[in-house]
Amino acid sequence: MNLPRIHRVIQRFDVPDLADPAGEAARVVTQSRIRERLAPGARIAVTAGSRGIASIGPILKAVVRTLREQGFEPFVVGAMGSHGGATAEGQRELLAEFGITAESMGCPVETAMETVTLGTNSFGLPICMDARAHAADGIVVVNRIKPHTSFTGRYESGLLKMLAIGLGKREGASQVHKLGLPGLVRLIPEVGTFLLQNTKVVLGLAILENAREHTAKIVPVEPEAILEEEPKLLHQARDMMGRLPFDAIDFLVVGELGKNYSGTGLDPNVIGRQRVETMPDLPRPVVTRLAVLDCAEESHGNALGIGLADLTTERFVGKIDPKPMRVNSMTSNFLTRARVPLAMADDRVVIATGLDTCWRIGWDEARMVIIPNTLELETLYVSEPLIGECLSHPRLEVDEAPTPWPFDASGHLDQAILFPTANQGQRKSRQDA
């Protein structure tokens, strides 16, 4: 089986990069108006979500420490909707993987799933909030602002979504997702606005990340300014995000998917595929054939997003834990993304099948791209039909010498060799240490 030759490509991003995220978080909390809003001794809930936000552990620890230095009693509250199997234990385990524990934070970490109902939305559905956060004297909403993986709107993933869905736990998340995409576009700002007006939010901390998935900015947003400022920050985040540098790809190979890379497992903003009922795909890139080789360990069997692919491996299918994927899919109300595609015996067969079916006569004609995941896009591999396009691109550097395919005897592609600085390579380094 003579696979096409592949060449390593380095994608350079000219984006801001914050040197000390924890120090910046402490600084902006200190400069906020929180001491004007709350008396010393006040209990403050600090939100923590399930997304793989860069430096989230040090950032939250700095926020907690700074609040304590100001005389408050902070605690961390899990704000991740139905993730972690919609259980307190599952959500506590997810936070622990990000270094968010009672020991590391120096304060309680609350992940109970109980909610209180505070009202109803315009469809008559209940508006819910985490009971412990609601009982606190104040809430500091900490979240990354970024383009959503399912829709485009004035408010996407950010502070309002953390309020409406994250702090809503499973019940609140289910109600916001009840009407699918039209409901999301309408209800995230509606429910978020209601909660801003009817709960004790005292500060928003908006985290913006760059194309290297490093912290670019941490912006304090006073509660009365969130509705006005969040759309501006979303625009900045969109400009900084990483993307694939091609408009058309015959065959895209993704090393692994997972909730640690995107809430959808595979970020539609990167691959161009939405696969949401009634919604068209994004205009670019147009991908004819897409394969996913593995499910990230950090996703704990939640293979949501595999429905965006055409091909996968039997190894991947064997790692699927149907319970969290089913809970996540039913809560989000997007079922197509959980459909399992054709599964092949091993990575080599998947790649050969993709080349056979990507609408090219010969394998050597295929515009093929290989990436580790949809989050880390600085290093990628391309087949030779894309070399000319890469050489003319101002942000791409191409290795002239082809890279050997690192398959083992069982047909498994060694992703740590291809992507030593990506999560796969770092994971292998930790295991070998």
User: What tokens does 304 get?
Assistant: 């949501």
For 4-45, the pLDDT digits (tens) are 999 999 999 989 999 999 999 999 999 999 999 999 999 999
Please tell me the predicted confidence (pLDDT) of residue 382.
Answer: 98
Let me know if domain 32-240 sits in CATH 3.40.50.10420: no
What confidence score (pLDDT) does residue 296 get?
96
Average pLDDT across the chain, whole number:
94
Q: Compute and round to an integer the Cα radius of gyration of the chain.
A: 22
Q: Worst-scoring range by mean pLDDT, 198-212, 250-264, 326-340, 366-380?
A: 326-340
| Structure confidence at residue 280 as a pLDDT band (50, 70, 90) | confident
The pLDDT, as a whole number, for residue 183 is: 79
Residue ranges in 127-167 assigned as alpha helix (H): 131-135, 159-161
* Gap between the Cα atoms of 353 and 192, Å rounded: 46
In degrees to the nearest 10, what's the CA dihedral of 415, 419, 420, 422? Answer: -110
pLDDT at 406 over 80: yes
% of the chain residues with pLDDT over 90: 84
Q: Report yes or no: 219 and 143 within 8 Å, Cβ to Cβ.
A: no
Has residue 52 got a pLDDT over 90? Answer: no
Assess whether pLDDT exceeds 90 at residue 276.
no
Compute the C-alpha angle 284/379/243, nearest 5°.
Answer: 25
| pTM, entire model | 0.82
pLDDT band at 225, cuts 50/70/90? very high
Hey, where are the domains in the chain?
A: 6-13+243-432, 32-240
Q: So what's the pLDDT on residue 212?
A: 85
* Best CA proximity match to 196, nearest among 165, 228, 166, 163: 163
In tens, the pLDDT along 347-372 reads 999 999 999 999 999 999 999 999 99
Stated length of the chain = 433
The 10s digit of each residue's pLDDT in 138-183 is 999 999 999 988 888 899 999 999 999 999 998 888 888 888 877 7
Burial of 162 (0-12, 13-18, 19+ CB in 10 A): buried
Band of pLDDT at residue 333, cut at 50, 70 and 90: confident
pLDDT for residue 433:
83
Q: Is residue 185 within 8 Å of residue 150, measured between CB atoms?
A: no
Average pLDDT for 395-402: 96
Kindly tell me if the per-residue pLDDT of 184 is higher than 90. Answer: no
pLDDT at 1 exceeding the cut of 80: no
